[in-house]
Amino acid sequence: MREYRDILIRRRRRKMLKHGALQAAVLLSLLGSIWTTGIYYDYDPDEHVLLENKCKCIKVTSKFVRSKENPNEEILERNIEIRIPLKARENISDPTSPLRTNFVYNLSNLCKKCDPVEMELGGETVWVSQANCDKSEDTCYTYDRNKCYTRDIPFTIEGKTEMRKAALNPESCYE
């Protein structure tokens, strides 16, 4: 009888250890994800976004910081963050085109305000924008997540080949 009781006690201890290890693993992964998320999202309320172009993968921010030479003075610091997509193609709509090796960033063109803005001029409300905005020459280095990119591919069924459109980024192509 005593041996049977000892066996039951050992089984309970093993179960407790197994469940305890599982609970500890869940707790550690939860704490790790919270810590990682907290590190990743580093928001600075004094930093202002001047430009964020997701097509060109560039972000320009500015903020005032204390001068190292004169601590009583503040100077404007600009940060330019450029993310280079590793597998970008010359033509992003064509997966067979060669990999892009040349990335051109003209900050004066990127900082133009091309969207019309409502202004009051001489007591009258008008819409204004910069006159020399040309979006046709703008090449994207990565997919715009809101745009559906497709390509014609040969599709063969029952011996017949016809051209059909295939989505290159299917998550954006749902209607």
CA angle 67, 69, 70 (to 5 degrees): 65
**DSSP letter (8 states) at residue 20:** H
Q: Where does the pLDDT of residue 123 fall: very low under 50, low under 70, confident under 90, or very high at 90 and above?
A: confident
Which stretch of DSSP H or E encloses residue 59?
strand 58-66
Kindly report, residue by residue over 37-61, the tens digit of the pLDDT.
Answer: 444 445 677 888 888 887 888 888 9
Kindly report, residue by residue over 87-99, the tens digit of the pLDDT.
Answer: 888 887 777 889 8
pLDDT value at residue 47: 85
pTM beyond 0.75: the answer is no
Between CA 105 and CA 108 the distance in angstroms is 9
pLDDT value at residue 39: 46
CA angle 31, 32, 35 (to 5 degrees): 85
Between CA 150 and CA 166 the distance in angstroms is 5
